[in-house]
Chains A and B, each alone.
Chain A
Amino acid sequence: MSSIPDPILDGLQRGWKVHGGPHAALPAMLDCDVAIIGSGAGAGITAEMLARAGLKIVIIEEGPLRSSSQFKQRELDAYRELYQESAGRKTVDQAMNILQGRCVGGSTTVNWTGSFRTPPDALAYWGDKFGLTDFNEAAMAPWFEQVERRLNISDWQAEPNENNGVLKRGAEKLGIPTKVVRRNVKGCWNLGSCGMGCPTNAKQSMLVSTLPAALDLGATMLVQTRATRFELQGERVSALVAEPVSLDGAVTGAPLRITAKHYVVAGGAINSPALLLRSNAPDPHSLLGKRTFLHPTAGGVALFDHDVAGWAGAPLSVFCDHFLHQGPVDGPVGYKLEVAPVHPAFALTNGGGIGAELAQRARDMPRTQLMIALLRDGFHADAAGGAVKLRGDGSPQLDYALTDYLLDGARRSYLTMAEIQFAAGAKAVRPVHEQAANYTSLAEAKAGIAGLAMKPFLATIGSAHVMGGCTLAADAGRGVVRPDGQHWQLANLSVHDGSLFPTSLGANPQLTVYGLAARLTSGLIQRLGSKPAPLA
């Protein structure tokens, strides 16, 4: 029995109003001031602020409520219970795997804790192209400061693990600057299991911070409850229809109807546009679900003569944004370098190979370092993002094309990763590409990488950052949502999540979502006639 307190079990004991799944039965009808769809980064911040302003809120989450005493650091449990589509969500052509949370806390429950303010060049682009001139660095700073205090976001003080150490050491040798990652943790045990749910509650995800605060203030939360569609009357939402679902997404009971003065959509950048599509929300400029971005992510493995043990220690503590700034933001695609944790199923499923090759890669795993390059999509006509579509049963799919422009960036990143890995002492490197071999020298790597056919599927590209689809813009011709977060055509509906982003960021998105949600919620509270209270 663990001696670590479980704030969720404690809260349930105290009488939190949680319905659905194994909790109290779902009521047939609910009425509140604000219904919040989702419980991730945007929803969590919104929920706490609204609850502190004295508003009656209902939070609707499709996934289950799981907490520290259930987080056993096992990939299998985590992927099945905490991720969208058992961690197997894919683009329509299946060329990319998308990791997205689906549980209370959303992706904040399973992310790697990297906390980055929105890069200034992204904000400047949003000002130029989408009229969001008031979303500049200075205007956003107070909102970031507030959420950083609330979530204990600060530089990671401990030594990086060797997986991150390779990035730091190799880049340093080449004269390429790296930086320390800021993390939203408090008393982190340095276990390395962030992606499977934090078993010690050190990660200040929405699960252990804002949502408990809102629930303590009387918020109602519905779990394993999917927001099916809005009922619309003219320019207003009149109700949200939701349905109970099991862990595999199957409907398990009768629908319920939730009425509210205002509705905040924060289900993430695939599910939010999908809910609006299912509701036939007005979309006069055909923008809904479009410009969906992924930070398409290429990988490079390196083999060392010593243990890297890439599963142990804070998974993300060093980054390099040097290759985002080699040219104009709308020039050849830039990329951010990070590392990914090396757990057996994640590393060996994504790493490719069968038979003897797969067995060798497994044997090599303890000495394997895994670097990743996140491509900054959304700033160029050849990286205009994907489109969210609905299957016949209403479930969402993202149609996203890996263009030659993006794949050129992936190829350049392969070489960069190889150079850094060799500089750090790698004995061999291999881009994660079906045609690539282990290259034992930089010259061999250069020749090998130059010869790779850069095509979807051959290049293994994935994503853990879904952004866009409900673009925030200064006028209805350029976006789905107004600068204050309200839908351009629906008066009592706002969007508060990563689907607002007009482009990708070139940085891990959670802090941008938090900052935007804090700012937009403050305005919403005033529009609803209440007085906003700061988060921290």
Chain B
Amino acid sequence: MQRRRLLKLGLGAAVVIGVAGAGIALIKPGLVDGKLGPGARDVMRAAAQAVLSDLLPPAGAARDAALDAQLGRLDAFIAGMPAPTRKELSDALGLLSTAAGRFALVGLGKPWAEASTQDVQQALDAMSKSSSNTRQQVYHALRDLNAITFFTAASNWQTAGYPGPIEIA
């Protein structure tokens, strides 16, 4: 019998999610030593590719390098967050790394590393219009963290036509 567990998702909402057999307690935290762990890296890499797709170099080595740089910026940004926020994010990313969490919250059938950019974009689009607070919270965690870390990097300012601040003598 499938056991329904009530998970208090740190993102502020309570999510009822069906977990067969294994309990929620077995979900690994998304952050390991304050950085994106392997599962969370897959989640964020796929999200970054979907959110920033047309701002990144074409598929290939240059895009891979840009995504690596983006993950590095995410790690640095997350390290500066207050501990309670980091914990919430860690719980959410841990949950999103599981098949059940990915399916329930994102509506994505394929594993993150196998889903196409279009698959993830469609899922994110649906979340952005969702009436579920939880899906909206997850959407903003994935989308806004990628946007803020991308556009705060001076190397990306040219994508927004921003010349940078006026330097003062």
Residues of chain A contacted by B130 (CB below 8 angstroms): 457
Does A413 count as interface, using CB distance less than 8 angstroms?
Answer: no
Q: Establish whether residues A191 and B168, one from each chain, have CB atoms under 8 Å apart when the complex forms.
A: yes
Report Cα–Cα, A435/B126, bound state, in Å. Answer: 11
Task: Knowing A344-B162, A349-B147, say if A249 contacts B51 (CB, 8 Å).
Answer: no
Q: How far is the CB of A233 from chain B (nearest CB, A)?
A: 31
Residues of chain B contacted by A79 (CB below 8 angstroms): 148, 152
Residues of chain A contacted by B165 (CB below 8 angstroms): 72-74, 191, 193, 311
Does B121 count as interface, using CB distance less than 8 angstroms?
Answer: yes
Does A254 count as interface, using CB distance less than 8 angstroms?
Answer: no
Which of A344, A435, A455 meets B157, CB within 8 Å?
A344
From 116 to 169 in chain B, residues with beta carbon under 8 angstroms from any chain A beta carbon are 117, 121, 124-125, 128-131, 133, 136-137, 140, 143-144, 147-148, 151-154, 156-157, 159-162, 165-166, 168-169
Q: How far is the CB of B167 from chain A (nearest CB, A)?
A: 8
Q: Establish whether residues B148 and A345, one from each chain, have CB atoms under 8 Å apart when the complex forms.
A: yes
Residues of chain A contacted by B60 (CB below 8 angstroms): none
Q: Establish whether residues A349 and B12, one from each chain, have CB atoms under 8 Å apart when the complex forms.
A: no
From 349 to 406 in chain A, residues with beta carbon under 8 angstroms from any chain B beta carbon are 349, 352, 354-356, 358-360, 362-363, 365-366, 391, 393, 395
Does A86 count as interface, using CB distance less than 8 angstroms?
Answer: yes
Q: How far is the CB of B14 from chain A (nearest CB, A)?
A: 12
Which of A343, A363, A395, A456 meets B82, CB within 8 Å?
A395
Which of B13, B85, B152 meets A75, CB within 8 Å?
B152
Interface string of A25-58 (1 = CB under 8 A from B): 0000000000000000000000000000000000
Q: Establish whether residues A358 and B162, one from each chain, have CB atoms under 8 Å apart when the complex forms.
A: no
Q: Establish whether residues B151 and A355, one from each chain, have CB atoms under 8 Å apart when the complex forms.
A: no
Q: Which of A249, A345, A455 has the most CB of B within 10 A?
A: A345
Q: Establish whether residues B82 and A2, one from each chain, have CB atoms under 8 Å apart when the complex forms.
A: no
Does A3 count as interface, using CB distance less than 8 angstroms?
Answer: yes
Which of A193, A355, A366 meets B54, CB within 8 Å?
A355
Task: Knowing A343-B162, A354-B50, A365-B162, say if A248 contacts B80 (CB, 8 Å).
Answer: yes
Report Cα–Cα, A3/B168, bound state, in Å. Answer: 9
Q: Establish whether residues A457 and B53, one from each chain, have CB atoms under 8 Å apart when the complex forms.
A: no
Nearest A residue to B141 via CB reads A94
Q: How far is the CB of B10 from chain A (nearest CB, A)?
A: 10
Does B11 count as interface, using CB distance less than 8 angstroms?
Answer: yes
Number of chain A interface residues as a range: 35 or more
Report Cα–Cα, A467/B157, bound state, in Å. Answer: 34
Which of A72, A86, A189, A356 meets B53, CB within 8 Å?
A356
Q: How far is the CB of A110 from chain B (nearest CB, A)?
A: 15
Does A423 count as interface, using CB distance less than 8 angstroms?
Answer: no
Q: Establish whether residues B166 and A393, one from each chain, have CB atoms under 8 Å apart when the complex forms.
A: no
Q: Establish whether residues A457 and B168, one from each chain, have CB atoms under 8 Å apart when the complex forms.
A: no
From 26 to 82 in chain B, residues with beta carbon under 8 angstroms from any chain A beta carbon are 50-55, 77, 79-82
Report Cα–Cα, A348/B79, bound state, in Å. Answer: 22
Residues of chain A contacted by B148 (CB below 8 angstroms): 79, 345, 349
Report Cα–Cα, A349/B142, bound state, in Å. Answer: 11
Report Cα–Cα, A364/B50, bound state, in Å. Answer: 20
Report Cα–Cα, A308/B120, bound state, in Å. Answer: 34
Q: Establish whether residues B159 and A2, one from each chain, have CB atoms under 8 Å apart when the complex forms.
A: no
Task: Knowing A355-B51, A355-B54, say if A348 contacts B160 (CB, 8 Å).
Answer: yes
Q: Establish whether residues A354 and B125, one from each chain, have CB atoms under 8 Å apart when the complex forms.
A: yes
Does B84 count as interface, using CB distance less than 8 angstroms?
Answer: yes
A residues with CB within 8 A of B: 2-4, 72-76, 79-80, 85-86, 88, 92-95, 189, 191-193, 199-200, 247-250, 311-312, 343-345, 348-349, 352, 354-356, 358-360, 362-363, 365-366, 391, 393, 395, 434-435, 455-458
10 more A-B residue pairs beyond the given contacts A248-B82, A355-B53, A362-B160, with a C-beta to C-beta distance below 8 A: A74-B154, A76-B153, A85-B85, A93-B12, A345-B147, A354-B51, A355-B54, A359-B53, A359-B159, A363-B161
Could you pull out 24 A-B pairs where Cβ atoms are within 8 angstroms?
Answer: A2-B169, A72-B165, A74-B154, A76-B152, A85-B85, A86-B77, A92-B12, A94-B12, A95-B136, A249-B83, A311-B165, A344-B156, A345-B152, A348-B160, A349-B147, A354-B124, A354-B128, A355-B53, A356-B54, A358-B51, A359-B54, A365-B161, A434-B129, A457-B133
